[in-house]
Amino acid sequence: MRRGIALVALMLAGCGTIQPPGPLNLPPVRLPEGRRLVAERSGAYCIEAPRSFALTDFSGKQLARVGSRTGNARAYLTLAEGQSVYAEPRSLEFTFNRVRNIPDEYGNTPDRASPASIGSMRESSFYGYNDVDFAAFQVTRGGTYEIFTENESHGMDAALVLFNRNMHVVAAANHSIDRRPVIRCQLDPGAYSLCIFPDYAVMQGTYAFRIQATDSSPEPSYSRLMYPGRLFGLSIGEAHVSHYLVDALNDALTMDTILKQWGAERPSLFVDAPYITSDDLSAEYVERTLAGFADIVTPRDTFVFYFAGHGDRRDNVAYLPLRFGRITEDRLNELLDDIPGRQLVIIDSCFSGNFREMLEDPRRTIYASTSENQVGYANLRFQFDDPIMNNFMVFSGFLWLELQRNHSDTDALFTEIVDRMGMQNMPNLMLGITPIPIAYPNQVPTSDGPSFQLE
């Protein structure tokens, strides 16, 4: 669990803080489609519609999907004050009431709340059927901040709204005298906030959010976080080709466990060992799996590709060998190019530095255990101080070991790995990378400090 928390932390931190006076540009991102409903009180709610419907949270994660052959379809949820859900399809007429309890396992109907509490859930005007300017940022040093847009509102009743991670409204502002909504507020360290423009405002033009610090001493700082979309991943442990590498299997299983702890949807695991008999242990199967992700991953999601095992290079072409066939660097690049969204690629194999060309895609961050001409090391010749870590390949073993130290940023993490590997005469990882900040659903800093929540 600590490994998952630490890796989320280092990826959120990305390439560090951005110092004033230059403002931070926050890119627009598409919101979920559907009617947004906000609970004005904490408690249990019943949401009804004439036919089947689905409920998602603001990250796109499905909360419920219900249907009914006769009568209205009903969904029951327990919501916190200010928490929002999106009801789809938006063409339906929804009713919502607070109830005393959630139905039991026998389906007993709960009592309705008193009429005075009806309407304690409200429908918001922040729909997502158009592209809406939306951004997230984390405050790394407390201070006074301004959040504003570069565009005029063109006479629309535009409002800039600041939410925290639970979708509670922290501050709001209508257009100012110069027709640019500005929010000025005090933010504490670790605060995670969202900026949203109503869609009826952006229909008049394209809006860009910016945030800048107003304090001069001490200077506040902040880092950009991307919109927390869904997470997908593929972990491969190849231990069959040439000679047996049990460490690679353990590494792939560890990454698969971490992906599940992160809340990844449909994480895929591929392991190849002598005692496994399957027709799927082929390059063709891996390619089909990657092609399948291209159909379900969206531009706001994140995809993690992890490979541990043998690597080879022939005629200046690097490839990842499998029991049946191989995947060349060019073919892997093509397959990853077809998958939308942000990507984190970790390759722990010999000659993994040859995959550096994949860095040309700004969506992608790659960590390689060796340079173009170096071989990697399993634990055939090296022993960690911690006996548990002796079950992993050297680079991944140091990776898991350093994650337990809860590094706050990628630079510190991989500098430590390089130093440790250097002390043992191990090959250095590929340098010169540009980390990409990434956030995940339910794994973002809370409003009261840089802590994390894992479900």
The pLDDT score that the predictor gives to residue 23 is: 44
Question: Is the sign of the CA dihedral 59, 60, 66, 67 positive or negative?
Answer: positive
Residue in 159, 165, 129 with CA at minimum distance from that of residue 147: 159
CA dist., res. 184 & res. 214, Å (int) = 9
Evaluate the CA torsion angle 144, 149, 155, 161 in order and state its sign.
negative
Distance CA 317, CA 270 (A): 23
Nearest to 245 by CA among 285, 284, 282, 274: 274
Q: By mean pLDDT, which of 207-221, 281-295, 406-420 is the weakest?
A: 406-420
pLDDT class of 73 with cuts at 50, 70, 90: confident
Least confident residue range of 35-44, 119-128, 317-326: 119-128
pTM (predicted TM-score): 0.44
- Are the C-beta atoms of residues 172 and 241 closer than 8 Å to each other? no
Render pLDDT for 31-72 as a digit per residue (tens, 0 to 9). Answer: 455 677 777 777 778 888 888 888 876 556 677 888 766 678
Residues 132 and 153: their CA atoms lie apart, in Å, by 14
232 or 362, which is more confident: 232
Residues facing 213 on adjacent strands: 145
The DSSP secondary-structure symbol of 112 reads: B
Domains and CATH numbers, the chain: 2-31+129-225 (2.60.120.380), 35-123 (no CATH), 231-423 (3.40.50.1460)
Can you tell me whether residue 35 is helix, strand or coil?
A: strand
* Tens-digit pLDDT profile for residues 247-278: 677 777 777 777 776 667 777 777 766 555 55
φ/ψ of 423, rounded to 5, equals -65, -25
Confidence (pLDDT) at 174: 55
Cβ of 35: how many Cβ atoms within 10 Å? Answer: 22
- Answer yes or no: is pLDDT of 8 > 70: no
Gap between the Cα atoms of 397 and 380, Å rounded: 13
What is the largest distance, in Å, between two alpha-carbon atoms of the chain?
77
Query: In this structure, which amino acid lies at residue 109?
Result: T
Distance of CA 214 to the CA centre of its chain: 30
Single-letter amino acid, residue 10: L
Q: Read out DSSP for 259-306?
A: HHHTT-SS-EEEEE-TT---TT-BHHHHHHHHHHHHHH--TTSEEEEE
Strand arrangement, sheet containing 317-321: 312-314, 317-321, 326-328
71 to each of 51, 52, 60, 103, how far by Cα in Å?
A: 8, 10, 27, 17
Q: Which residue has the higher pLDDT, 79 or 330?
A: 330
Q: Among 190-194, 274-278, 383-387, which stretch is predicted with the lowest mean pLDDT?
A: 383-387
User: Tokens for 390?
Assistant: 């002796």
What secondary structure does DSSP assign to 126-187, as a single string? ---SS---EEEEEESS-EEEEEEESS--TTS--EEEEEETT--EEEEEE--TTS--EEEEEE
Structure tokens at 402: 């350093």
Instruction: Give the Cα separation of 304 and 365 in Å (integer).
Output: 10
Which residue is it, tokens 């509102």?
Answer: 153
- Reduced 3-state DSSP string for 297-324: CCCCCEEEEEEECCCEEECCEEEEECCE
pLDDT at 211: 63
Peptide bond into 218 cis (omega under 30): yes
Of 245-249, 400-404, 443-447, where does mean pLDDT reach its minimum? 443-447
d(CA 297, CA 250): 27
